């Protein structure tokens, strides 16, 4: 079923990521009316030097 990919700059701790996964999963499941167990969330930490905003490197 649904796959949610979240890309972030590094620095969030394990507990923050756990809460994010729980809340995103619950919200997606509620909105599209599927079981929470069917939702997959992937968090990828991307270094700021690999991230560009408005033509400029973020880090």
Give me the catalytic one of 2, 10, 35, 47.
Answer: 2
Residue found under tokens 């079923």? 1
Distance, C-alpha 17 to centroid of its chain:
8
Question: Beta strands 3-8 and 40-45: pairing type?
Answer: parallel
Per the annotation, the verdict on 35 as an active-site residue is no
- Tokens matching residue 32: 């599209």
Residues with a catalytic annotation lie at 2
């Amino acid at each position: 079923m649904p796959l949610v990919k979240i890309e972030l700059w590094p620095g969030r701790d394990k507990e923050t990521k756990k809460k994010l996964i729980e809340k995103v999963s619950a919200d997606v499941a509620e909105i599209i009316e599927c079981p929470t167990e069917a939702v997959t969330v992937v968090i990828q930490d991307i270094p700021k030097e690999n991230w560009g905003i408005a033509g400029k490197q973020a880090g």
